[in-house]
Amino acid sequence: MRRDLLTSLLAVVLMTVGLGLVYPLAITGIAQVVFPGSANGSKVSFEGRVVGSKLIGQEFKGRAFFHSRPSATEYSGNVTFFGNGGPNNVETRESIREKLAAYVKLEKPYYRSLTRAGVPVDAVTESASGVDPHISEANAGIQAHRIAAVRKLPLEQVEELISDHTDDRFLGVLGEPGVNVLQLNIALEEEAPLK
């Protein structure tokens, strides 16, 4: 028993130091040298100032930007939680119904043939992380009409920007394609800035 206590005590100390300090700090050191960009959050800049991370979605309002997916956390990057909308909940239905109406109301003036049936699910459902950096290609394709009109760009040019900022499936197989909203909006600002 005493042997067990002594060895346990030594093991607690040794493992806490080895696995809890040496290992993570060594990984941090290597990561900071070899992959400084991604180790520090894959930050992106616009006009010389950091405006966010390409991995973390943010809120866009108004008619001149592509909009991110709805968020339960107001796109918080430091207080994260799930929206927890249950599958049979009245609140979930009401939340989706409102978002659906708002989406159609915003986009239809620029895209006359849009109906509720044509709205992609990602556009009106809260993401898991609250900061989903992507929207679906269909969602971006619908919003493109509004962007083209507001920024006075040819639709083809907007669509080209969308495809430039679409993260495809890995090797064409894994995951779902997603349009990176922040990077797309930065590209828009660079190409056709609002006065």
Partner 1 sequence: MVQGWAQIAIFIVVLVALTKPVGVYMARVFTNQRVFLTPIVGPIERLAYRALRVRLDAEEQDWKAYARSLIVFSLLFWVALYLILRTQGIQPFNPEGFHSGPWDLSFNTTSSFITNTNWQYYGGETTLTYFAQMAGLAVQNFVSAAVGIAVLVALIRGIVARSGESIGNFWQDLVRILLYLLVPISIIGALFLVSQGVIQNLSSSTVVHTLGGGQQILAQGPVASQEVIKELGTNGGGFFNVNSAYPFENPTALTNFFELLLILVIPAGLTYTYGRMVGNQRQGWAIFAAMFVLFVAGVVVVYMAEQHGSPAQHAAGLHTAAFDGSTGGNMVGKEQRFGIANSALWSAVTTVTSCGAVNAAFESLTGLGGAVPFANLGFSEVIFGGVGAGLYSMLLYVLLAVFIGGLMVGRTPEYLGKKIGAREIKLVSLGVLFTPLVVLLSAGVASATELGKRSLYAGINPQGFSENLYAYLSQANNNGSAFAGYTGFIQPNAPGNHGAYGISFADLVGGVVMVGARFAPILFVLAVAGALAGKKVSPAGLGTMRTDNPTFVFLLIGVVILVGALTFFPALLLGPIAQSLSTRLF
Q: Which of positions 97-136 make contact with partner 1 (CB under 8 A)?
A: 97, 100, 116-122, 124-136
CA distance 7 to 154: 73
What is the smallest separation between the CB atom of 90 and partner 1, expressed in angstroms? 5
Identified binder of partner 1 from the candidate list 108, 159, 189, 192, rule CB under 8 A: 189
3-state secondary structure 16-56: HHHHHHHHHHHHHHHHHHHCHHHHCCCEEEECCEEEEECCC
Residue with tokens 């607690």: 12
Residues 43-102 that bind partner 1 (CB under 8 A): 43, 46, 49-53, 55-56, 58-62, 65, 69, 75-90, 92-94, 96-97, 100
What is the smallest separation between the CB atom of 52 and partner 1, expressed in angstroms? 5
Any idea how long the chain is?
195
Per CB under 8 A, 160 contacts partner 1: no
Residues 162-181 that bind partner 1 (CB under 8 A): 167, 169-170, 173-178
Number of residues near partner 1 (by CB under 8 A): 108
Rounded to 10 degrees, what is the CA torsion of 60, 61, 65, 66? 60
User: Which residues, 6+ apart, have CB-to-CB distance to 152 below 8 Å?
Assistant: 192
What is the smallest separation between the CB atom of 123 and partner 1, expressed in angstroms? 9
H/E stretch holding 96 reads helix 90-107
What is the smallest separation between the CB atom of 48 and partner 1, expressed in angstroms? 12
Q: How far, rounded to the nearest angstrom, does the alpha carbon of residue 70 sit from its chain's CA centroid?
A: 10
What is the smallest separation between the CB atom of 187 and partner 1, expressed in angstroms? 11
